[in-house]
Amino acid sequence: MAANGGNQQLSVPQFKGEKYHLWSLKMKTMFRSQEIWDLVENGFEDANPAEPEQQLRENRKKDAKALFFIQSALDEDIMSRIVAVNTSHEAWEILKREYQGDQK
């Protein structure tokens, strides 16, 4: 990450289908630095009536940010696997299921 006048520019780790364990570790660290890892790991209820509207909007915004990071990290061939999902949690779980055993 490079500091630039108080703004941080994130360098999103790229994933091309190999060394998932290293990529996911870097992504988790990036998500934690942005305070969005819990959302990626656990998801959230989009239509929870007990949750205040402001909190729901904030969760949607954070989730969109996390999903953007995941999408930005992926090679086009891998991106096709998550193109239909709407949340970062869904995307993360699909990639984890498919690549977690890859130790190349």
Indicate the domain borders of the chain.
14-99
Exposure letters 74-93 (e unless 16+ CB within 10 A, then b)? beeebeeebeebebbbbbbb
Give the tens place of pLDDT for each residue, 76-97.
999 999 999 999 999 999 999 9
Q: Which among 36, 16, 12 is positioned nearest to 104, based on CA atoms?
A: 16
- The residue-averaged pLDDT of 14-31 equals 97
Confidence of residue 47 (pLDDT cuts 50, 70, 90): confident
Residue at 59: amino acid letter: N
Average pLDDT over residues 46-59: 83
pTM of the model: 0.85
Angle at which helix 88-99 crosses helix 20-33, to 10 degrees, equals: 160
